Amino acid sequence: MFNKLLSFTGGIYPPENKHLTENKAIELCDVPEIVTIPLKQHIGAPCDALVKKGDKVRLGQKIGQPRGFVSAPVHSSVSGEVKSIEIVDLPNGSKAPAVIIVNDGQDTPDESIKPDNAERLSADALKSIVTEAGIVGMGGAAFPTHVKLSPPDDRKIDILLLNGAECEPFLTSDYRLMIEHPDDILYGLKVIRKILGGVSRIYIGIEDNKPQAIKQMTAAAKNENDIQVVTLRTKYPQGAEKQLIYAITGRQVPSGGLPMDVGAVVQNVGTAAAIAFAVRDGLPLYRKLVTVSGGAVREQKNLMVRIGTSFREVIDFCGGWTEEPAKVINGGPMMGVAQYTLDVPVTKETSGILLFTKEEAAVREVSNCIRCGRCISVCPIHLMPLTISARSLAGNYEEADKLHAMDCVECGSCSYICPASRPLLHSIQMAKKEIMEERKRRAQAK
């Protein structure tokens, strides 16, 4: 049916650098003696701690109760004793309270961990398992999954997309997952299908630089008539939700809208696997698949890491570094956040830890905009980054808002392509922040 590669307009072709880790099988990272489990690892309201200093906790025990609907509970990733609850730095650049647990090395599982069967359970029961397991989008944004699976009644969802694009350079964790655990992904996908109900078409989108994954997923899904594996052009940001929907279905999410406005739900392959572990094995989300890569790390690896392990311990597990890294990044090189300390915990948002050498992390000198318009041609949202950036840098956030700055998905393609190395994305992010604050002020004034 699909002869040509599916894609969106715009986008960039950064060096993929996936060869460093794509043939490395997933390894289990050492479980640390002390884990730091933040009570906010997702988009939305933070959690309230359910434990206090001195409490004994078990592996998989719920230790954080969400404060709102758009939130997700957090669970202990080891068994042991709560040492303290304190404010810690998070790898996304914010601060949040965290439960610090001393591991007793026993991994005593919590009573709540009970294997079950998805075919036996109703859609509502499945949804509550997903909610209770604290599952969030594993693509990096960590949006609570149960919220995406609860569309309002007036939105009819007919298309389900499974995102296996993994367009960020360096990262290979989704790729390894698709090769090593295709059946888990498919199990999770079926659970999602059952929860949503009424889905007529399901696509698994994978970029064409991952032929092995396409083969594995196609083989896993061969008995399902409504599930189709589609090949996408290898281009960044192919894995961005709205770009994926457009590439596969041709539907365009309206400005300020959500995928559900066009009848689509997108889930990451990692999320589907996490759902399978939660439903079939009863395991909450207490570990994360992380790619450790970059030129400065001694041995690049794909690791299954307990949430709350510090970056330092993960890097030590990979043999440390060959030279002092000039930059350590949480996530991929395009959208990741640089770290100033290695004493930050791996959270549900961490999809990669990259250690860059001086050459890899070199910053180009900024010069004046030459109005070449390349940022416009690569912007997947069809914005005019140069114009929004100019307004933002002049402090004219109202004009930036009129130019749809709020629709920016912060993929960074504009900053990547800019021959003058203008800080386009950074200035747009600044405008977004100011616009949000202005809107809050207006809402309060009313």
Partner 1 sequence: MWKELVLPVLSLGGISFLFGAGLSLASKKFAVETDPRIDDIREALPGANCGACGYPGCDGLASAIAAGEAPVNACPVGGSPVAAKVASIMGLETDVKERLTARVLCQGDCDQAADKYMYEGITDCVAAAMLSEGQKGCSYGCLGLGTCERVCPFDAIHVNEKGIAEVDKEKCTACGLCVAACPKNVIELIPVSSEVQVACNSRDTGKVVRSVCKVGCIACRICVKACPFDAMEFENNLAKINYEKCTNCMVCAQKCPTKAIYAQFLERKAAL
- Contacts to partner 1 by CB under 8 A: 89, 93-95, 337-338, 340-341, 363, 393, 395, 423, 426-427, 429-430, 433-434
Identity at 365, one-letter amino acid code: E
CB of 340: closest distance to partner 1 in angstroms? 4
CB of 93: closest distance to partner 1 in angstroms? 4
The residue among 226 and 437 lying less far from partner 1, judged by its C-beta, is 437
The residue among 193 and 426 lying less far from partner 1, judged by its C-beta, is 426
CB 388 within 8 A of CB 349: no
- Separation CA 328–CA 321 (nearest Å): 11
Residues 6+ apart with CB under 8 A from 149: 127, 130, 192, 195, 196, 265
The distance between the two most distant Cα atoms of the chain, rounded to a whole number of Å, is 63
The residue among 258 and 409 lying less far from partner 1, judged by its C-beta, is 409
CB of 438: closest distance to partner 1 in angstroms? 11
- Separation CA 119–CA 168 (nearest Å): 35
The residue among 93 and 319 lying less far from partner 1, judged by its C-beta, is 93
CB of 89: closest distance to partner 1 in angstroms? 7
Where do we find the tokens 């079926």? 190
- Give the E-state strand segments of 180-280 in sequence order: 201-207, 227-232, 264-268
CB of 430: closest distance to partner 1 in angstroms? 5
Residues 6+ apart with CB under 8 A from 167: 207, 234, 235, 236, 237, 238, 239, 240
Joined tokens for residue 68:
């709102």
The residue among 70 and 337 lying less far from partner 1, judged by its C-beta, is 337
- Separation CA 298–CA 296 (nearest Å): 6
CB of 400: closest distance to partner 1 in angstroms? 13
The residue among 211 and 395 lying less far from partner 1, judged by its C-beta, is 395
Residues 6+ apart with CB under 8 A from 407: 255, 256, 381, 383
CB of 434: closest distance to partner 1 in angstroms? 7
The residue among 19 and 441 lying less far from partner 1, judged by its C-beta, is 441
CB 168 within 8 A of CB 209: no
